[in-house]
């Protein structure tokens, strides 16, 4: 790093707003998205964020040394634009249950946002919480025992997102702090409903009074979030600090584009996120489908089919004529099941421009994580809709074939079982199975 001072609120005099948002899952995407929207709201001075890490405390330690400040680098095709984001005013270890309970017990705290992976909800395929999951079961049992004993909550050590959230909400109930909104910000359809089912289902297993509280006093907001934010590497940090006016150990690199669509109530208020372009809608499902199918579905296609053709990044893969054609054909199939009011053609053009940005190094290996679940959410619904309309879903079959090719390599398991797990309906369709078989690599 250079000899410049370490980034802090002394170096960049941004006042810290009072904490009114608690975030679970501190990571780069949260800092590029929800925190960025909050810092660009006209009432940002009233809405500070306290963010808790997930499994590892490192990000909290680094950001705490910088008073929560970090540099957001928008990496366009030709040049960078950077700004210091000041909405994150506290960064805490996710294991600090006492601090989480303390914050959620305050009436001024109005919103809890979440960035959790699909697996992080510990849910069963039907969406209810998996109470047989070891981590969630342990959290439920510990909270149940604490409530029955009237014990303090801060000594608990929940390890799951649902367990931590329930502990905080029990503290809020005890304090009589009033209602709030839970806002999941992840790539899961109907994520507000999934969060509600997780909290309610686990809450019922803990205590009837807590279950009634989280049903009545907590609003669950569904969202569609969009901003490509690759992992920041040590090389990225070093390159930024070589010429920066301050030293920043936690910069975030993202694309210039961002999108956020929300549907639901905020009983205790919210920041004016619409100032930064957020949209509030009555029906979020079409927006979810547009984003999940077109952006995330194409990402999954490239992540599965790109590496065998020698590609390591989205920008490299989308320039491959074979893969670009596969993406366009997949989009054609998906677009048939999206309303025209969403301006799908314009969105497709913008996606190609974003994918083609060579200065955003979005690694296919990162996108390929948990591919089976992603294909289930992002590709299978399109294939099922195409088959129901009497069409062969050939472009979807290309993605499924790439997934099955990957499944041939241990430890993913037998391809036939993978297809059945992705979609029993697709696995039963002889024509689709034959289409997939014809597309697989020999």
DSSP string, 129-184: B-TTSHHHHHHHHHHHHHHHHT--STT----SHHHHHHHHHHHHHHHT---EEEEE
pLDDT of residue 407: 82
Q: What's the CATH code, domain 19-280? A: 3.40.50.720
> Given 1.20.1730.10, 3.20.20.140, 1.10.1040.10, 2.60.40.10, which CATH number is that of 285-439?
1.10.1040.10
Is residue 53 helix, strand or coil?
A: coil
pLDDT of residue 412: 58
Residue ranges, the chain, pLDDT below 50: 1
The angle, 0 to 180 degrees and rounded to 10, between the axes of the packed helices 380-388 and 371-378 is 40
pLDDT of residue 318: 98
Pairing of strands 259-263, 279-280: parallel
Is residue 203 helix, strand or coil?
A: helix
What ranges do the domains of the chain cover? Answer: 19-280, 285-439
pLDDT of residue 368: 94
Report CA Rg, the chain: 22
Inter-residue contact 315 to 355 (CB < 8 Å): yes
- Answer positive or negative: Cα dihedral of 134, 100, 191, 363: negative
pLDDT of residue 1: 45
What's the DSSP call for residue 48? E
pLDDT of residue 361: 86
Model pTM score: 0.90
Secondary structure tally for the chain: helices H, strands E: 21, 12
Length of the chain: 442
- CA angle, 226 then 227 then 229, to 5°: 140
């Amino acid at each position: 790093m250079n000899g410049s001072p370490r980034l802090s609120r002394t170096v960049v005099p941004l006042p810290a707003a009072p904490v009114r948002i608690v975030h679970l899952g501190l990571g780069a995407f949260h800092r590029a998205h929800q925190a960025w929207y909050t810092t660009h709201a006209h009432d940002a001075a009233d809405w500070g964020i306290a963010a808790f890490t997930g499994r590892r405390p490192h990000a909290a330690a680094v950001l705490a040394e910088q008073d929560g400040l970090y540099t957001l680098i928008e990496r366009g095709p030709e040049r960078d634009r950077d700004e210091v984001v000041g909405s994150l005013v506290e960064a805490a270890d996710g294991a600090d249950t006492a601090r989480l309970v303390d914050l959620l017990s305050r009436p001024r705290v109005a919103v809890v946002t979440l960035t959790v992976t699909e697996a992080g909800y510990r849910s069963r395929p039907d969406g209810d919480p998996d109470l047989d999951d070891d981590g969630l079961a342990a959290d439920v049992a510990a909270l149940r025992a604490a409530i029955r004993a009237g014990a303090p909550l801060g000594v608990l050590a929940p390890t799951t997102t649902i367990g931590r959230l329930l502990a905080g909400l029990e503290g809020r109930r005890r304090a009589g702090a009033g209602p709030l909104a839970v806002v999941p910000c992840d790539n899961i359809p109907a994520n507000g409903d999934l969060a509600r089912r997780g909290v309610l289902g686990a809450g019922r297993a803990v205590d009837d009074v807590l279950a009634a509280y989280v049903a009545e006093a907590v609003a669950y907001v569904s969202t569609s979030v969009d901003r490509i934010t690759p992992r920041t590497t040590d090389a990225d940090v070093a390159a930024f600090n070589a010429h920066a006016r301050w030293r920043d150990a936690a910069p975030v690199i993202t694309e210039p584009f961002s999108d956020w669509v929300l549907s639901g109530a905020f009983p205790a208020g919210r920041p004016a996120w619409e100032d930064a372009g957020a949209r509030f809608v009555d029906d979020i499902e079409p927006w979810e489908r547009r984003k999940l199918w077109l952006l995330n579905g194409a990402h999954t296609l490239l992540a599965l089919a790109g590496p065998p053709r020698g590609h390591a990044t989205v920008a490299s893969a989308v320039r491959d004529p074979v893969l670009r054609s596969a993406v366009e054909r997949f989009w054609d199939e998906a677009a048939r099941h999206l309303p025209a009011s969403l301006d799908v053609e314009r969105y497709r053009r913008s996606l190609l421009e974003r994918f083609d940005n060579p200065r955003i190094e979005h690694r296919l290996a990162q996108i390929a994580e948990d591919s089976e679940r992603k294909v289930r959410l992002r590709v299978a619904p399109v294939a099922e809709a195409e088959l129901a309309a009497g069409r062969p879903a050939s472009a979807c079959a290309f993605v499924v074939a790439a997934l099955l090719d990957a499944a041939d390599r241990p430890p993913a398991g037998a391809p036939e079982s993978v297809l059945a797990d992705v979609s029993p309906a697709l696995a039963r369709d002889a024509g689709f199975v034959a289409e997939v078989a014809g597309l697989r690599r020999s």
